[in-house]
Chains A and B, each alone.
Chain A
Amino acid sequence: MSHSRIGLRFAKLAAEGRAGFIPYVTAGYPTLDHTRDLLAGLAELGSDVIELGIPFSDPMADGPTIQRSSQGALDAGTTVDDVFRVLAELRRTSDVPVVVFSYLNPLYARGVETFVREAVEAGADGILPTDLPLGADPDLEMRLLESPLDFVRLIAPTTYPDRVREIAHSSQGFVYYIARTGVTGARAELRSDLAREAGAVRSVSPVPVAVGFGVSTAEHARAVGAAADAAVVGSALVNRLDEGGVDGALALARELRGALNEVEK
Chain B
Amino acid sequence: MTATPAATGRFGPYGGRYVPETLIPALDELATAYAEATADPAFLAEADELASNYVGRPTPLYRARRFEAAAGVAPIYLKREDLNHTGAHKINNTVGQALLARRMGKPRIIAETGAGQHGVATATACALFDMECVVYMGTEDVRRQSLNVYRMELLGAEVRPVESGTRTLKDATNEALRDWVTNVAGTHYIIGSVVGPHPFPLIVRDFQAVIGREARRQIIEAEGRLPASVVACVGGGSNAMGMFHAFAGDEEVELIGVEAAGEGLGSGRSSASLSEGRPGVLHGSLSYLLQDADGQIASAHSVAAGLDYPGVGPEHSHLHDSGRARYVSVGDGAAERAFRALPALEGIIPALETAHALAWVEEAGRRGEIEAPVAICLSGRGDKDVVHVSSLGE
Residues of A within 8 A of B (CB): 56-63, 67, 71, 74, 79-80, 103-110, 130-137, 153-160, 163, 167, 178, 181-183
Across the interface, A159 reaches (CB within 8 A) one of B24, B170, B177, B284, namely: B24
With known contacts A108-B280, A159-B24, A181–B184 Cβ distance under 8 A:
yes
* A58 touches which of B16, B170, B184, B286 (Cβ 8 Å): B170
Contact of B281 with A133 in the complex, beta carbons under 8 Å: no
Is B294 among interface residues, defined by CB-CB distance under 8 A? yes
Query: Which residues of B lie under 8 Å from residue A79 when comparing CB positions?
Result: 294
Known: A58-B165, A131-B281, A156-B21. A136 touches B181 (CB 8 A): no
Q: Is the CB of A178 within 8 A of B280?
A: no
In the complex, which of the residues B18, B20, B181, B289 contacts A137, with contact meaning CB atoms closer than 8 Å? B18
Q: B24 and A106: CB pair below 8 A?
A: no
Task: List CB contacts (< 8 Å) of B4-23 with chain A.
Answer: 16-23
Most buried by B among A60, A110, A156, A163: A60
- B295 and A67 contact, CB distance less than 8 A: no
Chosen A-B contacts, 19 in total, with CB atoms closer than 8 Å, are: A60-B178, A60-B283, A61-B181, A71-B164, A80-B295, A104-B281, A105-B295, A133-B20, A133-B24, A134-B21, A136-B19, A156-B24, A157-B22, A158-B23, A159-B22, A159-B24, A159-B25, A178-B21, A181-B22
Are B282 and A105 within 8 A (Cβ)? yes
Q: Does B296 contact A (CB under 8 A)?
A: yes
B155 within 8 A of A: no
Q: For chain B, residues 242 to 272, give those with C-beta under 8 angstroms from any C-beta of chain A.
A: none
Question: How far apart are the CA atoms of A131 and B295 in the complex, in Å?
Answer: 14
A-B residue pairs, 4 tightest by C-beta: A109-B295, A182-B182, A156-B22, A105-B295
* B293 adjacent to chain A (CB < 8 Å): yes
Distance in Å from the Cβ of B9 to the closest Cβ of chain A?
Answer: 9
Query: B181, A183: Cβ atoms under 8 Å?
Result: yes
Report A-chain residues with C-beta under 8 Å of the C-beta of B184: 158, 181
Chain B residue at minimum C-beta to C-beta distance from A107? B295
Complex contacts, B296 vs chain A, CB 8 Å: 56-57, 74, 105-106
- The contact of B280 among A105, A137, A156, by CB within 8 Å, is A105
> Nearest B residue to A59 by beta-carbon distance?
B174
Chain B facing A: main interface SS: mixed
- Residue in B21, B174, B291 with the greatest tally of chain A CB atoms within 10 Å: B21
- Tell me whether B372 is interfacial, beta carbon within 8 Å: no
For the complex, is B26 an interface residue (Cβ under 8 Å from A)?
yes
With A56-B296, A71-B165 as known contacts, state yes or no: A104 contacts B18, CB within 8 Å.
yes
B185 within 8 A of A: yes
A63-B178, A106-B295 given; name 18 further pairs at CB < 8 Å: A105-B280, A105-B281, A109-B295, A131-B20, A133-B17, A134-B21, A136-B19, A155-B21, A156-B22, A157-B22, A158-B23, A158-B25, A167-B21, A178-B21, A178-B22, A181-B181, A182-B181, A183-B178
* B293 and A109 contact, CB distance less than 8 A: yes
| A58: chain B residues within 8 A (beta carbon) | 165, 170-171, 174, 282-283, 297
Q: Which residues of B contact A71 (CB under 8 A)?
A: 164-165
Verify A136–B295 contact, CB threshold 8 A. Answer: no
Output the least CB separation between A167 and chain B (Å): 7
- Check A60–B174 contact: CB distance below 8 A: yes
Residues from chain B with a CB closer than 8 A to the CB of A106 are 294-296
B122-162 interface code vs A (CB 8 A; 1 in, 0 out): 00000000000000000000000000000000000000000
A80 to B164: give the CA distance in the assembly, Å. Answer: 22
Count A-B pairs with CB separation below 8 Å.
Answer: 119
Closest to A79 in B: B294
Contact in complex: B291, A105 (CB < 8 Å): yes
Among A62, A130, A133, A183, the one with the most B-chain Cβ atoms within 10 Å of its Cβ is A133
Measured in the bound complex, the distance between the Cα atoms of B181 and A60 in whole Å is: 9
Please, how many angstroms separate the alpha-carbon atoms of A80 and B292 in the complex?
A: 12
Residue of A nearest to B24 (CB): A133
Contact B19–A133 (Cβ < 8 Å): yes
- What B residues does A108 contact at CB under 8 A? 279-281, 286, 295
Give Cα distance in the complex from A103 to B177, angstroms: 15
Q: Is A156 a contact partner of B182 (Cβ separation < 8 A)?
A: no
Q: Taking CB as reference atom, which chain B residue is nearest A183?
A: B178
Q: B33 to chain A: closest CB distance in Å?
A: 16
Asked, given contacts A58-B170, A106-B294, A183-B181, whether A133 binds B21 with beta carbons under 8 Å apart, the answer is yes
Closest to A153 in B: B21
List B contacts of A104 (CB < 8 A). Answer: 18, 281
CB distance from B386 to the nearest CB of A (A): 32
Alpha-carbon distance between A159 and B28 when the two chains are bound, in angstroms: 11
CA distance A79 to B296 in the complex (A): 9
* Assembled-state Cα–Cα distance A109/B182 (Å): 28
Determine which residue in A57, A59, A107 has the highest number of CB atoms from chain B within 10 A of its CB, and name it. Answer: A57
Q: Which residues from chain A contact B286 at a C-beta distance below 8 Å?
A: 108
Contact A131–B280 (Cβ < 8 Å): no
- Contacting residues of chain B (162-182) with chain A, CB-CB under 8 angstroms: 164-165, 170-171, 174, 177-178, 181-182
CB closest residue in chain B, given A103:
B281
B289 neighbours in A (Cβ, 8 Å): 105
List, in ascending order, chain A residues with CB within 8 A of B178's CB: 60-63, 183
Beta-carbon contact of B291 and A109 below 8 Å: yes
In Å, the complex CA distance between A80 and B18 comes to 21
Collect the chain B residues with CB atoms within 8 Å of residue A131's CB: 18-20, 281, 284
Give chain B nearest CB distance to A169 CB in angstroms. Answer: 15
Q: How far is the CA of A103 from the CA of B186 in the complex (A)?
A: 26
A37 to B21, CA, bound (A): 32
A163 touching B20 by the CB < 8 A rule? Answer: no
Give the distance to chain B from A177, nearest Cβ to Cβ, in Å: 10
Return chain B residues, CB-CB under 8 Å to A137. Answer: 16, 18
The complex places the Cα of A183 from the Cα of B280 at a distance, in Å, of 22
**Complex: how many Å from CA A183 to CA B177?**
10
| Shortest distance from the beta carbon of A182 to any chain B beta carbon, whole Å | 4
Bound state CA distance, A132 and B285, in angstroms? Answer: 11
Q: Residue of A at shortest CB range from B182?
A: A182
Q: State A79–B170 Cα separation when bound (angstroms).
A: 21
